[in-house]
Amino acid sequence: MSKAKEVLNKEIERRRTFAIISHPDAGKTTLTEKLLLYGGAIHMAGSVKARKTARHATSDWMEIEKQRGISVTSSVMQFNYNDFCINILDTPGHQDFSEDTYRTLVAADSAVMLLDGAKGVETQTIKLFQVCRMRGIPIFTFINKMDRAVKDPFDLMQELEDVLGIRSVPMNWPIGIHGDFKGVYNRQLNQIELFTNDKSHGQAIIHSNKGDVNDPIFKDLLGEPYYSKLIEDIELLDIAGDSFDLNRILKGELTPIFFGSAMTNFGVEPFLEEFLRMSPPPGDRVFDENLMEANSEDFTGFIFKIQANMNPNHRDRLAFMRICSGVFEKGMQVNHSGSGKQVRLAQPQQFLAQEREVVEKAYPGDIVGLFDPGIFRIGDVLSSLSGLEFHGIPSFPPEHFARVSAKDTMKRKQFLKGITQLAEEGAIQIYKEPDIGVEEFIIGAVGILQFDVLEHRLKNEYNVDLKLTSLNLRYARWITEIEGRPNDLNLTSTSRLVKDTKDNYVLLFENEWSIQWALDKNKGLSLRNIS
């Protein structure tokens, strides 16, 4: 084996690229911060709730995120821990930004599913879990907020099976679930870990007391009721629970469960260590019919996210690329599937949220930010080979629509630039009515909150005030076949004929009845959903 191949194999083996998925408010950004804290990437964690202070969560960089206390874009963070190189994809939990999360999951090799111990499996978790299940990636479950009163752990395990259809194996077990959390029992090491609350409110690394479950000191430390309940639970788990099976975990059939509290740091470090031990390194990827092995010396990567104005002072635009095979080097020339031309990958960057550094080399599993002069699109392939296409990124039809224009017609140029850039990021979809002037568009979004983000970003990044009118439309359907001219279609009074940015004809409908009317009244009309 050549020296270069040996280095490539070693770098792949030590990488872990994963996304954190959850329902809003389950504590995802807090957990991300604590993983960075234990990885030595930050020295003090900023509470996401403390929005009145200057310290915000490291992974939330956009101004609107700091104001509202939510994550609306997927952040990328890389750090090292115990010789592992970790790439965390922190995704928006709010359902209105789920499309960004779905795209990000395509770039991940595994997922950490975060549940609020008091609430269990919630609606947004179900949607995101289904995308992970579709991709067959391993899912590791962290049950959070154990420092508060939570559901019975056996009920939570049952919920995972009943609602998500996945069996679970607890790696540790909580002691005290009624707001009296004492620590956990580590099943593999057969030891109790009692946590000390160090008054730092989760901003610093905490230490725990560990020892064998049979050591009589723990009976005294915990007290008889807690100790007896723990012994009873352990016996029940050993008899009735699923046994640990790494193969089933890696196939996404079994999820390991960890109990802890991200806010107070209880259980975060043991979770991180076990996760790194069990989770897979970057795997092979399919481009069209071609299987690209991660350790192939041919370079491949794909664009899964585009973000404009990450640094408002520089008016920059970055394309996020997941490296799939080979070695990335700064300044390399690659084939670009979108244009069919060769491009030079200059100014590549890696991230710790809003802090960046220029990267000289990167390996499979790494996420690299590329300076984008406006040529990249989501799904583009960059490769040392030619003719590769990547079709793994899902697209979703919008469910909310609004008519938008600039309040000040003199700012038409900035308005067009802002709207176009946000559409290319995948945040919104733009439609144009054939007989309406260029100053006005219909905007489609998967979630209604995206309109707020659109208004905020156009105001703050392009200095444009929007005139935005909601439309009572709910469905977009693309015309695939038609007899005659689109303008002659027989439609209900509320339906609209528009064109997308690629000049394809699209019909926007108020309800399913209107869609059926169009199909019944227009011979030869065939429609499709974008997804």
Q: How far is CA 203 from CA 45, 143, 197, 524, in A?
A: 5, 20, 11, 64
Report, as an integer, the average pLDDT of 10-23: 94
Instruction: Tell me the C-alpha distance between 190 and 193, whole Å.
Output: 10
Spatial distance between the Cα atoms of 433 and 99, rounded to a whole number of angstroms: 25
Average pLDDT over residues 96-108: 73
- Per-residue confidence band for 355, with pLDDT thresholds at 50, 70 and 90: low
Strands (E), 274-316: 285-287, 290-292, 300-308
Q: Is the pLDDT of residue 398 over 70?
A: yes
pLDDT at 98: 55
Per-domain residue ranges of the chain: 18-278, 285-383, 400-528
Checking if the pLDDT of 351 tops 90, the result is: no
pLDDT at position 156 is 98
> Which amino acid is it at 150?
V
- pLDDT above 90 (res 127): no
At residue 71, the pLDDT reads: 33
pLDDT tens, residue by residue, 477-523? 999 999 989 999 999 999 999 998 888 999 999 999 999 999 999 99
Let me know if 427 is exposed, middle or buried by CB neighbors in 10 A (0-12, 13-18, 19+).
buried
Question: Tell me, what's the pLDDT at 476?
Answer: 93
pLDDT digits over 403-423, tens only? Answer: 999 999 899 999 998 898 788
More confident residue, 388 or 448: 388
Give the containing element (helix H, strand E) for 450. helix 449-462
Q: Candidates 3.40.50.300, 2.40.30.10, 3.30.830.10, 3.90.1150.10; correct CATH number of 285-383?
A: 2.40.30.10
Q: Enumerate the β-bridge partners of residue 186.
A: 172, 191
281 CB-contact burial (10 Å; exposed 0-12 / middle 13-18 / buried 19+) = buried
Q: Give SS3 for 118.
A: coil
- Dihedral sign computed on CA atoms, order 370, 372, 378, 382: negative
Residue-wise over 245-277: b if at least 16 C-beta within 10 A, else e? eeebbbebbbbbbbbbbbbbbbbbbbbbebbbe
The structure tokens listed for 323 are 């490296």
Looking at the DSSP assignment, which residues form a beta bridge with residue 336?
Answer: 341, 382
The pLDDT confidence band at residue 231, using thresholds 50, 70 and 90, is very high
Query: For residue 93, what pLDDT band results from cuts at 50, 70 and 90?
Result: very low
Count of CA atoms in the C-beta half-sphere (13 A) of 3: 0
SS (H, E, C) 123-175: HHHHHHHHHHHHHCCCEEEEEECCCCECCCHHHHHHHHHHHHCCEEEECEEEE
CATH fold of 18-278 reads Rossmann fold (3.40.50)
- Distance in angstroms (rounded) separating the CA atoms of residues 54 and 69: 13
- The verdict on domain 400-528 having CATH code 3.30.470.10 is no
Which two structure tokens, joined as six digits, stand for 161?
Answer: 């099976």
Residues 191-220 have pLDDT tens digits of 998 877 665 556 555 455 678 888 888 888
Contact yes or no for 271/284 (Cβ under 8 A): no
- pLDDT reading at 286 higher than 60: yes
Handedness of CA 127, 128, 134, 138 (dihedral sign): negative
Lowest mean pLDDT across 5-19, 153-167, 446-460: 446-460
The secondary structure element, H or E, covering residue 211 is strand 208-212
**What pLDDT, on the 0 to 100 scale, is given for residue 490?**
96
Question: Do 18-278 and 400-528 share a fold?
Answer: no
SS3 of the chain: helix, strand, coil, percent, to 5: 30, 30, 40
pLDDT reported for residue 311: 56
Summary mean pLDDT of the chain: 85
238 with 169: CB under 8 angstroms? no
What is the arrangement of strands in the sheet containing 475-481, beginning at the earlier edge strand? Answer: 496-499, 505-509, 475-481, 526-528
